[in-house]
């Protein structure tokens, strides 16, 4: 078996029937037959097609927009521009793993004073057909005054760089600068005294690194259908990681009551953080309100690349010092992250995560959030962490090799464990980094022989994981089946894991529980699918709702038996008298209690509304073997093993899937993917042909080891698993290349031309 | 511009439709015939989410014009199961958890079936190269490749087991 589960010592003593097994997912048949409805699969009678006019300029002032010709084109029913959206106050509000600012958001969904990137929305139309909508876009006249642009993060920080926002004063520096710049914010974390720490070091490695923006590249483009009635009631169907969050943003941007917008999440064809924000949704609502007809909008792939996502590219300097016996004495990082056109890069989490896998006394991390003429970044799987940890894990590897230490042993000697105070503040509870390192070291992969031109690398990774506001409801049906209502869109099998936890609590068979993702008017506010929180937080809410239902089931049985309800207990799907004193009654099954619910007090519904706390941080360690083709510079990943702590794997097959998918996204980030801009500031590769994500023939099987160090704050020990797997691959592959070639790469992606050039230089120099 | 009238066969049924000259087979399937199982991931032949069979050949529906369909036969994901019995590939995809979000799944199933129709005993490498035109961003392909190999084995009558 290539895939392995190592149960931790704290495993719950409860005998589990469902949790930890691999049943079929409840939504599976719909998804293998084409029946499942994704964002673009909805239609309504009388529906119009909406399309967006986008800026061809990376930076320009909008002098005027004339839509009159488009408006009179037969078939055009509505046109919207900046004039249809109110300006908003600058205000940061938390939105999951990132902060949002409505002043920026209203400008990102529709340009106001200026366009700030190639692809920035300038106007939108709704028409009776796709063809008419396209013709209408051509009739809109925008008078632009092109301005100088800046794409590179270091150039954007130059004093004479073109300014994106003439009023942006850097936050987080004392005293506040008196001149505006493209640096939105500076963040800093420090513990101990790095100067003193470096003075104790016997070996120091210091390097600078660069990464390029990469896109989440979900296969399903953004899509929605909005229908606003004459009295202002709105329905919205869309592909999103969080329909309650979409509702909130749309209500704010359009000045609508939250109660007037009902959002239904379609099936979602991938998001990876990129579907936590709004792009088309407010435009579709505005167009529909004007036209009084439903409006459907779907992005093309070109629009997805030019106007949504990606994550930051960065420029970083990392310095780490250690004693000869392998103890790290100090660590320092400068991180400069591109935010795209509006502030809000994930540099803060990047700075917090940079050294999180290590138990350090002296650390200093400074992060810069820098705006450039690119699309505003969106969250991407462990936002910020893969960038900073890539750089740090490369330096850790180099340091280990300089010290003559095995890179896993070096990490073990410095690894964060329970009680370690992380550089960003809190003390870790039980965490599984050491276990993942030990498992990696013991894995046959780690000692397998390598072929010619091959090299092996390892790297570790960390992500916080989050909890948050979550509701769940569990309707017990009259025939003893149940309907589970949850508010987190299912992006990768969470219906299965949540139903499994409900089945475990209720003591009934899994196939008696049907899940639905409830719309925003049917279930209370639930934060989005992100932060690896669904199995943890929606899991906790599901368990609470099931326990609430069980309490009611026991009360009903008590009523029937005419005994106090605390004299009834629930076991394996049956109400039973608790002990001999309670009386002698035949146990009643859930179905039997449910059948007579009408006579004992009415329907039985379990509810939970929680703010889930205590998400368990997650660590992983990856091993990779690469092979280099010295003639072409192509790097092939020939073997890959992911070892990660899941806390508890509710459905191990989907946990493995997260590990494997994250690793392969990381392989793409390491070797191929990048946003390429021309001199003119336009994106040159807005399609899958030139923005090349890994395909099946690029990668090997991805072996996995699931380590289970239970999270004590979750009833089954669950930690999030979805994000950490994308953190280690870039460094692991860089380290493997160093092993194969003796060359330390410090730039991503390590695409064939760059590798070939480095091999040539090394040959010339050596 | 007048629409084109086309008479064709889709999933074994005689079908007539009107389409614009520049509408693709994918547009026709999704927008005119409401067969939304085939997905549009790119519209440029690069993702395979729109894979369908046209006269027994695997094609990207986004690269074929609707107006070209007269007298031809199209098979889509909607016709892969035999009544209520799933095709072995569909079943193996579920057993192996070979889908996460599932948006790539219809295209990959159609493409994998085309492979097994041609080559009932593909190697792992053959599966990987055959499916190289079908992007999946979620799974890392591991479980997809295993599911295809397992389905092939079962269809050959070999005893296999899902992990
Ligand atoms: S939509 Fe046809 S190949 Fe991508
Ligand atoms: S399962 Fe999401 S793209 Fe393949």
d(CA B121, CA B153): 7
- If we measure between CA atoms, which residue out of A363, A372, A309, A366 comes closest to residue A336? A366
> Is residue A418 domain-resident?
no
Nearest to A151 by CA among A327, A347, A312: A312
Contacts of B135 in chain A (CB under 8 A): 219, 688, 693, 695
* A363 in Cβ contact with A331 (< 8 Å): yes
Task: Please indicate, yes or no, whether residues A634 and A760 belong to a single structural domain of this protein.
Answer: yes
| Neighbouring residues of A429: CB distance < 8 A, sequence distance ≥ 6 | A418, A616, A711, A712, A713
Q: How far apart are CA A411 and CA A623, in angstroms?
A: 14
Number of domains observed in the structure of chain B: 2
How confident is the model over A403-410, as a mean pLDDT? 98
Tell me if chain B has a CB within 8 Å of the CB of A580. Answer: no
Indicate whether residue B144 lines ligand 1 (CB < 6 A): no
Given B40, B62, B79, which residue is the final one in a domain?
B79
Q: Read off the CATH number of the domain in which B121 is found.
A: 1.10.150.120
In a domain, B52, yes or no: yes
A599 shares its domain with A709: no
**Band of residue A165 on the pLDDT scale cut at 50, 70, 90:** very high
pLDDT of residue A483 exceeding 70: yes
| A590 and A622 belong to one structural domain | no
How far is A622 from A733, CA to CA, in rounded Å?
A: 9
What is the mean predicted confidence (pLDDT) over A289-308? 98
Residue nearest atom 3 in ligand 1 by C-alpha distance: B45
CB contact under 8 A, A31 and B102: yes
CA of A692 to the centre of ligand 1 (A): 14
Residue of A nearest to B136 (CA): A219
Contacts with A484 (C-beta within 8 Å, 6 or more apart), sequence order: A472, A473, A474, A498, A499, A502, A513, A514, A515, A516, A542, A545
Are the CB atoms for A490 and A265 separated by under 8 Å? no
Same domain, B75 and B9: yes
Residue B59's CB: how many other CB atoms inside 10 A? 18
CA of A703 to the centre of ligand 1 (A): 30
Report chain B's C-alpha Rg in angstroms: 16
Chain A residues 205-244 with a CB less than 8 Å from chain B = 216-221
Residue B161 resides in a domain: no
Domain end, chosen from A594, A612, A630, is at: A612
- CA dist., res. B132 & res. B125, Å (int): 10
Stretch A290-310: mean pLDDT: 98
Domain for residue B24, yes or no?
A: yes
Residue of B nearest to A41 (CA): B36
Residue A268 touches partner B, C-beta closer than 8 Å = yes
Residue B160 lies in a domain: no
Residue A173 lies in a domain: no
Test mutation, B95, B101, B127, chain A, max A CBs within 10 A: B101
The fraction of chain A above a pLDDT of 90, given in percent, is 94
Inter-chain residue contact B137 with A665, CB threshold 8 Å: yes
Q: For residues B74 and B122, state if they share a domain.
A: no
User: In chain B, what residues touch A45 (CB-CB under 8 Å)?
Assistant: none
Q: Which of A612, A640, A667 is the last residue of a domain?
A: A612
* Residues lower than pLDDT 70 in chain B: 1, 159-163
> How many Å lie between the alpha carbon of B162 and the closest alpha carbon of chain A?
10
Tell which phi-psi region holds residue A527, choosing left (phi > 0), alpha (psi between -120 and 50) or beta: beta
**Residue A2 above 50 pLDDT?**
no
> Does A293 fall in a domain?
no
B48 touches chain A (CB under 8 A): no
pLDDT given at position A103: 96
Percent of chain A predicted with pLDDT > 70: 98
What is the CATH number for B27?
3.10.20.30
pLDDT at B162: 45
B93 and B51 part of one domain: no
Torsion angle, alpha carbons of A411, A413, A418, A421, to 10 = -80
Q: Domain check: are A565 and A649 in the same one?
A: no
A314: in domain: no
Does A151 map to a domain? no
Is A85 near chain B, with CB under 8 Å? no
Q: Say yes or no to pLDDT of A9 above 80.
A: no
Closest CA of chain B from A52, distance in Å:
17
Quick one: B100 and B54 in the same domain? no
Q: Quick one: which of A429, A439, A575, A549 has its CA closest to A483?
A: A549
Q: Which residue has the higher pLDDT, B8 or A765?
A: B8
Please measure the distance between the N-terminal and C-terminal CA atoms of chain B and give it in whole angstroms.
56
Please judge whether B46 and A1 are an interchain contact, meaning their C-beta atoms are less than 8 angstroms apart. no
The secondary element (H helix, E strand) that includes residue A123 is strand A121-127
The C-alpha atoms of residue A449 and residue A354 are separated, in whole angstroms, by: 32
* Same domain, yes or no: A553 and A671: no
DSSP letter assigned to residue A382: S
pLDDT of res. A581: 85
- When the pLDDT of each residue in chain B is averaged and rounded to a whole number, the result is 96
Mean pLDDT for chain A? Answer: 96
B142 in any annotated domain: yes
Determine how many CB atoms are found less than 10 A away from the CB of residue A522.
14
Residues contacting residue A682 through CB under 8 Å, at least 6 positions apart: A56, A58, A118
Q: Is residue B49 lining ligand 1, measured as CB closer than 6 Å?
A: yes
Q: Answer whether residue A528 is part of any domain.
A: yes
Ligand lying nearest the CA atom of residue B134 = 1
Contact B93 A662 (CB under 8 A): no
Q: What is the mean pLDDT of residues A367-376?
A: 98
Question: Of B50, B54, B111, B132, which is best to mutate to test ligand 1, by the most ligand atoms within 8 angstroms of its C-beta?
Answer: B50
The torsion region of residue A151 among left (phi > 0), alpha (psi -120 to 50) and beta comes to: alpha
Chain A residues near residue B31 by CB distance under 8 angstroms:
43
What is the reported pLDDT for B2?
A: 86
**Does one domain contain both A649 and A572?**
no
Assigned domain for B148 exists: yes
**Residues A619-666 pLDDT 10s:** 999 999 999 999 999 999 999 999 999 999 999 999 999 999 999 999
Ligand 2 atom at minimal distance to the Cα of residue B101 = 2
Distance of alpha carbon A586 from its chain centroid, rounded?
50
Q: Are residues B65 and B101 in the same domain?
A: no
To test the contact with chain B by mutation, choose from A38, A41, A51, A219 the residue with the greatest count of B C-beta atoms within 10 A, namely A219
* Nearest ligand 1 atom, CA B43: 1
**Whether B143 contacts chain A with CB within 8 A:** yes
CB contact under 8 A, A220 and B101: yes
**Ligand 2 centroid from CA B49, angstroms:** 10
Q: What is the pLDDT of residue B160?
A: 53
**Is a pLDDT exceeding 70 seen at residue A14?**
no
User: Which chain A residue's Cα is nearest to B42?
Assistant: A301
The 3-state DSSP class for residue A307 equals helix
Atom 3 of ligand 2 has which residue's CA nearest to it?
B136
Q: Does B35 contact chain A (CB < 8 Å)?
A: yes
- pLDDT-based confidence at residue A294 (cuts at 50, 70, 90): very high
CATH number of the domain bearing residue A457: 3.30.365.10
The SS3 of residue A383 is coil
pLDDT in tens, A233-275: 999 999 999 999 999 999 999 999 999 999 999 999 999 999 9
Return the ∠ at Cα A48 (arms to A46 and A52), rounded to 5°: 170
pLDDT of residue A13: 55
Domain co-membership, B56 together with B101: no
> Is B63 found in the same domain as B130?
no
Confidence of residue A685 (pLDDT cuts 50, 70, 90): very high
- pLDDT at residue A540, rounded to an integer: 96
Whether residue A129 is contained in a domain is answered as no
B72 lies in the same domain as B109: no
| Shared domain check, A577 and A707 | no
User: In whole angstroms, what is the distance from residue A569 CA to residue A553 CA?
Assistant: 10
B16 and B75 share a domain?
yes
Q: Please identify, among B79, B107, B133, the residue that sits at the C-terminal boundary of a domain.
A: B79
Range of the structural domain that residue A643 is part of: 429-463+616-766
A267 contacts on B by Cβ (under 8 Å): 101-103
Band (pLDDT 50/70/90 cuts) for residue A515 is very high
Average pLDDT over residues A574-590: 92
Which residues, in sequence order, are bridge partners of residue A105?
none
Q: What is the pLDDT of residues A694-731, one digit of tens each?
A: 999 999 999 999 999 999 999 999 999 999 999 999 99
Q: Both A601 and A527 in a single domain?
A: yes
Range(s) of the domain holding residue B55 = 4-79
In angstroms, the Cα distances linking A10 to A6, A374, A647, A708, A715 are: 12, 47, 10, 8, 12
Task: Indicate if B64 and B39 belong to the same structural domain.
Answer: yes
**B45: Cβ below 6 Å to ligand 1?**
yes
Which of the listed residues B40, B101, B141, B145 should we mutate to test ligand 2's pocket, taking the one with most ligand atoms within 8 A of CB? B101
Residues A765 and A620 reside in one and the same domain? yes
Q: Domain for residue A685, yes or no? A: yes
A576 and A593 co-located in one domain: yes
Q: How far does B70 lie from chain A, in Å, by closest CA?
A: 23
**Residue where a domain terminates, one of A580, A612, A644:** A612
Using the Cβ of B15 and the Cβ atoms of chain A, whether some distance falls under 8 Å is answered with no
Q: Are residues A513 and A587 in the same domain?
A: yes
B77 within ligand 1 shell (Cβ under 6 A): no
Res A393 pLDDT > 50: yes
A598 and A721, same structural domain? no
Whether B96 and B44 share a structural domain:
no
B10 and B74 belong to one structural domain: yes
pLDDT digits (tens, 9 = 90+) for A723-763: 999 999 999 999 999 999 999 999 999 999 999 999 999 99
ipTM value for the complex: 0.97
- Does the distance separating the beta carbons of B80 and A696 come in below 8 Å? no
Q: Does A606 touch chain B (CB under 8 A)?
A: no
Of B54, B79, B104, which residue constitutes the final position of a domain?
A: B79
Interface of B with A in 78-117 (CB under 8 A): 78, 80-81, 86, 90, 93-97, 99-106, 109
Is residue A7 scored above 50 in pLDDT?
Answer: no
Number of domains chain A contains: 2
Residue A209 pairs in a beta bridge with: A316
Specify if B162 maps to a domain: no
The whole-number average pLDDT for the span A163-177 is 96
Residue A3 near chain B (CB below 8 Å): yes
Judge whether A464 is closer than 8 Å to chain B, CB to CB.
no
pLDDT at A8: 41
Min Cα distance A216 → chain B (Å) is 9
């Amino acid at each position: 078996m290539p895939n392995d589960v190592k149960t931790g010592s704290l495993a719950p003593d409860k005998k589990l029937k469902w949790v930890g097994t691999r049943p079929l997912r409840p939504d599976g048949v719909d998804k293998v037959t084409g029946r499942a409805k994704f964002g673009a699969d909805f239609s309504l009678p009388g529906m119009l097609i909406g399309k967006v006019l986008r800026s061809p300029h990376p930076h320009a002032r909008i002098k005027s927009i004339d839509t009159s010709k488009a408006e009179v084109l037969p078939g055009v029913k509505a046109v919207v521009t900046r004039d249809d959206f109110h300006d908003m106050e600058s205000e940061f509000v938390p939105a999951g793993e990132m902060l949002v600012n409505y002043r920026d958001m209203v400008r990102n969904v529709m340009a106001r004073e200026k366009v700030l990137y190639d692809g920035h929305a300038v106007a939108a139309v709704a028409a009776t057909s796709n063809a008419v909508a396209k013709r209408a876009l051509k009739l809109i006249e925008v008078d632009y005054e092109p301005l100088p642009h800046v794409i590179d993060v270091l150039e954007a920080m130059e004093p004479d760089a073109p300014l994106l926002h003439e009023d942006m004063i850097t936050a987080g520096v004392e005293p506040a600068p008196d001149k505006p710049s493209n640096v939105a914010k500076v963040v800093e974390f420090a513990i101990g005294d790095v100067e003193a720490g470096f003075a104790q070091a016997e070996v120091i490695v210091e390097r600078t690194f660069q990464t390029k923006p990469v896109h989440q590249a979900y296969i399903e483009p953004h899509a929605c259908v909005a229908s606003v009635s004459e009295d202002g009631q709105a329905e919205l169907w869309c592909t999103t990681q969080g329909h309650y969050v979409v509702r909130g943003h749309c209500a704010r941007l359009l000045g609508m009551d939250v109660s007037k917008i009902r959002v239904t999440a379609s099936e979602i064809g991938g998001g990876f953080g990129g579907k936590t924000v709004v792009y088309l949704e407010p435009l579709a609502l505005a167009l529909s309100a004007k036209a009084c007809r439903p409006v459907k909008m779907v992005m093309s792939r070109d629009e997805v690349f030019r106007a949504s996502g990606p994550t930051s590219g960065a420029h970083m300097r990392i310095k780490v010092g250690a004693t000869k016996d392998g103890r790290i004495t100090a660590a320092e990082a400068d991180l400069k992250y591109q935010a795209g056109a509006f502030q809000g890069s994930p540099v803060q989490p990047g700075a917090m995560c940079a050294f999180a896998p290590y138990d350090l006394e002296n650390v200093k991390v400074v992060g810069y959030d820098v705006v450039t003429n690119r699309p505003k970044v969106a969250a991407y799987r462990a936002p910020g962490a893969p960038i900073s940890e890539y750089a740090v894990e490369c330096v850790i590897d180099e340091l280990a090799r300089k010290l003559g230490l095995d890179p896993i042993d070096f990490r073990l000697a410095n690894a964060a464990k329970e009680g370690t105070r992380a550089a960003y503040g809190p003390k870790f509870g039980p965490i599984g980094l050491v276990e993942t390192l030990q498992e990696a070291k013991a894995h046959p992969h780690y000692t397998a022989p390598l072929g010619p031109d091959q090299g092996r690398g390892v790297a570790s990774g960390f992500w916080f994981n989050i909890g948050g506001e979550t509701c769940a409801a569990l309707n017990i049906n009259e025939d003893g089946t149940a309907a589970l209502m949850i508010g987190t869109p299912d992006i990768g099998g969470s219906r299965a894991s949540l139903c499994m936890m409900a089945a475990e609590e209720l003591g009934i068979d899994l196939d008696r529980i049907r899940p639905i993702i409830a719309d925003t008017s049917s279930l209370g506010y639930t934060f989005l699918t992100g932060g690896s929180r669904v199995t943890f937080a929606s899991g906790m809410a599901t368990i609470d709702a099931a326990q609430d239902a069980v309490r009611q089931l026991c009360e009903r049985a008590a009523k029937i038996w005419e005994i106090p309800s605390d004299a009834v207990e629930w076991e394996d799907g049956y109400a039973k008298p608790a002990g001999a004193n309670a009386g002698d009654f035949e146990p009643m099954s859930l179905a039997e209690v449910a059948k007579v619910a009408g006579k004992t007090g009415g329907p039985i519904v379990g509810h939970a509304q929680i703010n889930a706390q205590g998400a368990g941080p997650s660590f992983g360690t990856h091993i990779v073997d690469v092979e280099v083709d010295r003639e072409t510079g192509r790097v092939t990943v020939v073997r890959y093993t992911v070892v990660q702590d899941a806390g508890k794997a509710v459905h191990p097959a989907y946990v493995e899937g997260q590990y494997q998918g994250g690793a392969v996204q990381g392989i793409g980030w390491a070797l191929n993917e990048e946003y390429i801009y021309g001199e003119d500031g336009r994106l040159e590769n807005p399609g899958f042909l030139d923005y090349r994500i890994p395909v099946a023939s690029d990668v090997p099987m991805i072996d996995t080891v699931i380590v289970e160090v239970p999270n004590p704050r979750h009833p089954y020990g669950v930690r999030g698993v979805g994000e950490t797997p994308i953190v280690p691959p870039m460094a692991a592959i860089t380290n493997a290349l160093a092993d194969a070639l003796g060359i330390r790469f410090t730039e991503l992606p390590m695409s064939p031309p760059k590798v070939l050039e480095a091999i040539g230089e090394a040959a010339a120099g050596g | 511009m007048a629409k084109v009238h086309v008479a064709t066969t889709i999933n074994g049924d005689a079908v007539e439709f009107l389409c614009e000259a520049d509408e693709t087979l994918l547009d026709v399937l999704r927008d005119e015939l409401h067969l939304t199982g085939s997905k549009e991931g790119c519209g440029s032949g690069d993702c395979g989410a729109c894979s369908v069979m046209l006269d027994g050949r695997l094609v990207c529906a986004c690269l074929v014009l609707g107006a070209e369909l007269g007298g031809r036969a199209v098979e889509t994901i909607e016709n892969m199961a035999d009544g209520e019995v799933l095709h072995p590939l569909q079943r193996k995809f579920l057993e192996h958890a070979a889908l996460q979000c599932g948006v790539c799944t219809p295209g990959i199933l159609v493409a994998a079936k085309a492979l097994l129709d041609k080559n009932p005993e593909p190697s792992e490498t053959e599966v990987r190269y055959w499916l190289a035109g079908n992007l999946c961003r979620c799974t890392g392909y591991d479980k997809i490749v295993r599911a295809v190999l397992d389905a092939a084995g079962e269809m050959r009558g070999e005893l296999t087991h899902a992990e």
